[in-house]
Structure formats: structure tokens, C-alpha cells
Copies of this chain bind each other. A is one copy, B any other.
């Protein structure tokens, strides 16, 4: 959902930046499931239909780089990692809950 709300060529519109940060087929589902308690990549596989390992790890990496999630090593051998939402990630979740409620309204009107 790359978006072009560029008001002025060299000034990035925060909304455009926000939308581009969460664009990508799986980012919202990953964030959504993190706030519901999922932590491990293997759990995402179970809960998010059609996701594949390479895409999942890339989108987790991008979410980390954007500051929405942090990765924690919980065991070294075998390596086990967990992901947690950052404050910024939790702030996004609050907005996603409102979008969820807005979506319920859409479904009722259909």
C-alpha cells in the first residue's frame, strides 16, 4: 500500500511514512498477533494463513528496523528467539483496534 500523499517534494508526510511502515502483506497481521501474546516465529506460522518463512523473517526484520518490535534470544542451543512489541508497536496496536472497530461498522453496513 505504498502511498503518495507527498505535500511538498522534500517534506515527508507523516501519514505516508506511517502507512509505508506498516505496508507489506504480513506486517499488520504480525503486529496484531504479537499483541495477542504470540512471540515465536513458529507460532506466527500456525496463526497467519499462507505466510512463508523467508517473507516472515524479512518482515520481522523490517518491523525491528522500524522500531515496532524487539527480538530477544531466549535460548542459545538450539537457538530460540522471541519477539515483543516496543512502545511504538503498542501505540500502533491502539490505532489498529480502532481500525478493527471501523471495519466492524463496514461489515454491518454491507
| A interface residues, Cβ below 8 angstroms from B | 1-7, 12-19, 21-26, 28-29, 32-33, 47-51, 66-67, 88, 91-92, 94-96, 98-107, 109
Closest to A30 in B: B5
A107 to B3, Cβ gap below 8 A? no
Q: Is the CB of A14 within 8 A of B101?
A: yes
Copies in the complex: 2
- Asked if A4 and B107 sit within 8 Å, CB to CB, the answer is no
Residues from chain B with a CB closer than 8 A to the CB of A96 are: 15
Nearest B residue to A2, CB-CB = B25
Known contacts A5-B32, A95-B95; decide if A18 and B102 are in contact (CB<8 Å). yes
Which residue in B29, B47, B50, B103 is a CB contact (below 8 Å) of A18?
B103
